[in-house]
């Protein structure tokens, strides 16, 4: 077969593969944030939790509750609010949220994982 | 060579579009309407400003209709034995509440303020109730409750409560606030997309990224971290009423905040009712009514679509019942 008749030559194929590789390497190796737990009080970020442990949440000097992260899931204990909805919510995983309305406190389990869920109705 | 260049250019264009950053959504969290609110919006006219405009509207509606705020319209009406002149917005909202009450045979009732106060659910954010009222107390409160004690005068645009009845618009005001937030957003930018959520009730502004549905999980009423179903919505609203947030227990019995206007006790039969509708007022009112009518689940799932709401109900035995029309929203598009 006449090589001039070919649309793509060997170096063209190598060039295309190189371009595709660059795109994929860029896409898959860019830094990712991973998982973290963010605690907001009165709309302000109060703390960011990345390692397992028990953390006290305070609004200034006022004690609000304990947030416990076991490395996989997070839950609230010993809340000072009367409703205790934050405690009743139980442990949440990535993408979940714990809300305490009286204390205007929010625990968000942030994740960069591609979760399909956008919002919960409850 | 022209062919090779063309292929390379097309390849770059394809890969660039494949990996391009998606349109950005601005997200705002806050507390209003006595609950947690979340606004997720994208607008070419400024997403952050639009989110703030929407939040301000939620706040406005909350302050106007909060029965615990002495300066609210509801407090003004509740504290009077005589006719009270009201603005057009309040008249329309009360008229809608009365219509939903009639539509649902009184299961939705905007005049249960006395019963709610007796149970202590009016101040639940400050103190969790711990006492079950006696039958006599409930009998007295029932005589001072009910939509039949709410009189609306459309000619003179005024309202009157009789026999000591009190308004509590908790079953509809949140939906109204969400619809208002939707309206103000669309007035600013009719092409904006996203959603606004208040306490688990959601009003969709427009499809995700302009074409895709928002995925709404329906919370498992007995396992907060799980969903029992997923809804795929590009418009409209969804609301859920459940027995798992605002309740107390005495002797192993759960007493929740959704009261049956006929008995005066917490409604039995359902533990969670989710309604999808064209607007949040309908979804909110029908989810409350559907919960109250939980013991008649067949009626709720079959008849409520005629009122504009598709129902997904979890009954006390854990069974999931759904309107035939709900299937439309449960299919990923």
Q: Which domains does chain A have, with CATH numbers?
A: 36-110 (2.60.320.10)
Report the predicted TM-score, pTM, of the whole model to 2 decimal places.
Answer: 0.86
Binned at pLDDT 50, 70 and 90, residue B22 comes out as low
Contacts of A16 in chain B (CB under 8 A): 7-8, 11
B31 in contact with chain A, both atoms CB, cutoff 8 A: yes
Taking alpha carbons only, the member of B91, B221, B214, B206 closest to residue B158 is B91
Tell me if B8 and A104 make a contact (CB, 8 A cut-off). no
Give the nearest chain B residue to A41 (CA atoms). Answer: B30
Same CATH topology for B26-64+172-330 and B69-161: the answer is no
Mean pLDDT (chain A, rounded) = 83
Residue B2: CB partners within 8 Å, gap ≥ 6? none
For domain B26-64+172-330, the question of CATH label 3.10.520.10 is answered with: yes
Instruction: Tell me the pLDDT of chain B averaged across its residues.
Output: 94
* Shortest alpha-carbon distance between residue B294 and chain A (Å): 17
Show which residues on chain A lie within 8 Å of chain B, measured between beta carbons: 7-9, 12, 15-16, 19-20, 23, 26-27, 40, 43, 73, 82-85, 88-93, 96, 99, 101-102, 104, 106, 116-122
Query: In this structure, are residues B73 and B94 in contact, taking their beta carbons and an 8 Å threshold?
Result: no
Spatial contact of A101 and A83, defined as CB atoms under 8 Å apart: yes
What's the DSSP call for residue A4? Answer: G
**Chain B contacts of A19, Cβ < 8 Å?**
8, 11-12, 15
pLDDT given for residue A32 in this prediction = 44
Inter-residue contact B58 to B33 (CB < 8 Å): yes
Closest alpha carbon within chain B to A100: B36
* Confidence check: pLDDT of A61 > 80: yes
Which stretch of DSSP H or E encloses residue A77? strand A74-77
Q: Quick check: B234 contacting A, CB < 8 Å? A: no
In the prediction, which pLDDT does A30 show? Answer: 47
- Which residues 6+ apart lie within 8 Å of A114 measured at CB? none
The Cα of B285 is separated from the nearest Cα of chain A by a number of Å equal to: 15
Count other Cβ atoms within 10 Å, centred on residue A46: 18
Q: Mean pLDDT lowest for which of B95-109, B119-133, B142-156, B196-210?
A: B119-133
Q: Which of B56, B57, B141, B65 is nearest to B96 (CA)?
A: B65
Q: Does B7 touch chain A (CB under 8 A)?
A: yes
Q: What is the pLDDT of residues B109-129, one digit of tens each?
A: 999 999 999 999 998 878 889
State percent of chain B over pLDDT 90.
88
Q: What is the pLDDT, as a whole number, of residue A93? A: 87
Question: Three-class SS string for chain B?
Answer: CHHHHHHHHHHHHHHHHHHCCCCCCEEEEEEECCEEEEEEEECCCCHHHHHHHHHHHHHHHHHHHCCCCCCCHHHHHHCCCCCEECCHHHHHHHHHHHHHHHHCCCCCCCCCHHHHHHHCHHHCCCCCCCCCCCHHHHHHHHHCCCHHHEEEECCCCEEEECCCCCCCCCCCHHHHHHHHHHHHHHHHCCCCEEEEEECCEEEEEECECCCECEEEEEEECCEEEEEEEEEEECCCEEEEEECCCCEEEECCEEEECCECCCCCCECCCEEEEEEEECCHHHHHHHHHHHHHCHHHHHHHHHHHHHHCEEEEEEECCCCEEECHHHHHHHCCC
Residues from chain B that touch A118, judged by Cβ atoms under 8 A, are: 40, 195, 208, 214-216
Q: Is the pLDDT of residue B220 over 90?
A: yes
8 Å CB contact between B147 and B110:
yes
User: How far does Cα B248 stand from its chain's mean position?
Assistant: 22
Backbone phi, psi, residue B248, to 5°: -135, 165
Dihedral angle at the C-alpha atoms of B273, B275, B280, B282, nearest 10 degrees?
-100
User: With bands split at pLDDT 50, 70 and 90, how would you rate the model's confidence at B6?
Assistant: low
Asked whether the predicted pLDDT for residue B151 surpasses 90, the reply is yes
CB contact under 8 A, A7 and B35: no
- B206-219 residue pLDDT tens: 999 999 999 999 99
Per CB-CB distance under 8 Å, the chain A contacts of B125 are: 82-83, 101-102
Contact B27, B50 (CB under 8 A): no
CATH class as words, domain B69-161: mainly alpha
Q: Quick check: B270 and B208 in contact, CB under 8 A?
A: no
Give the orientation angle of helix B173-188 with respect to helix B47-65, to 10 degrees: 150
DSSP state of A75: E
Domain map of chain B by residue range? 26-64+172-330, 69-161
């Amino acid at each position: 077969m006449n090589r001039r008749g070919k649309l793509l030559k060997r170096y063209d194929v190598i060039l295309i593969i190189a371009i595709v590789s660059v795109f994929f390497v860029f896409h898959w190796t860019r830094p990712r944030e991973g998982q973290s737990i963010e605690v907001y009080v009165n709309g302000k970020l109060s703390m960011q939790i990345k390692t397992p442990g028990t953390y006290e949440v305070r609004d200034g000097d006022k004690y609000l509750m304990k947030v416990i992260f076991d490395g996989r899931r997070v839950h609230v204990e010993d809340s000072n609010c009367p409703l205790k909805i934050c405690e009743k919510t139980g442990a949440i995983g990535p993408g979940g949220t714990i809300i305490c309305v009286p204390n205007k406190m929010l625990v968000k389990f942030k994740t960069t994982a591609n979760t399909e869920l956008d919002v919960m109705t409850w | 060579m022209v062919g090779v260049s063309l292929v390379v250019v097309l390849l770059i264009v394809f890969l660039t579009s494949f990996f391009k950053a998606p349109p950005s959504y601005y997200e705002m969290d806050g507390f209003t309407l006595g609950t947690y609110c979340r606004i997720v919006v994208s607008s070419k006219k400024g997403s952050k400003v639009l989110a703030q405009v929407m939040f301000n509207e939620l706040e406005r509606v909350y302050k106007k209709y909060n029965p615990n705020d002495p300066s609210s319209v509801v407090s003004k009406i509740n504290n009077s034995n005589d006719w009270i002149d009201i603005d057009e917005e309040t008249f329309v909202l009360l008229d809608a509440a009365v219509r939903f009450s009639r539509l649902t045979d009184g299961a939705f009732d905007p005049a249960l303020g006395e019963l709610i106060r007796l149970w202590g659910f009016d101040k639940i954010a400050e103190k969790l109730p711990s006492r079950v009222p006696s039958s006599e107390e409930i009998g007295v409160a029932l005589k001072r409750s009910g939509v039949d004690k709410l009189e609306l005068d459309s000619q003179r645009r005024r309202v009157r409560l009789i026999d000591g009845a009190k308004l509590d618009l908790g079953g509809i005001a949140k939906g109204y606030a969400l619809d208002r937030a939707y309206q103000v957003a669309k007035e600013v930018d009719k092409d904006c997309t996203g959603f606004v959520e208040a306490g688990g009730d959601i009003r969709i502004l427009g499809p995700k990224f302009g074409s895709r549905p928002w995925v709404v999980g329906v919370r498992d009423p007995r396992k907060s971290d799980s969903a029992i179903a997923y809804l795929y919505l590009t418009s409209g609203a969804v609301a859920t009423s459940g027995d798992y947030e605002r309740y107390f227990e005495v002797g192993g019995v759960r007493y929740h905040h959704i009261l049956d206007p006929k008995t005066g006790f917490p409604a039995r039969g359902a533990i969670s009712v989710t309604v999808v509708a064209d607007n949040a007022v309908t979804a909110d009112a029908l989810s409350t009514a559907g919960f109250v009518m939980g013991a008649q689940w067949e009626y709720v799932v079959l008849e409520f679509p005629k009122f504009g709401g598709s129902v997904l109900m979890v009954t006390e035995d854990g069974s999931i019942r759904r309107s035939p029309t709900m299937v439309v929203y449960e299919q990923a598009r």
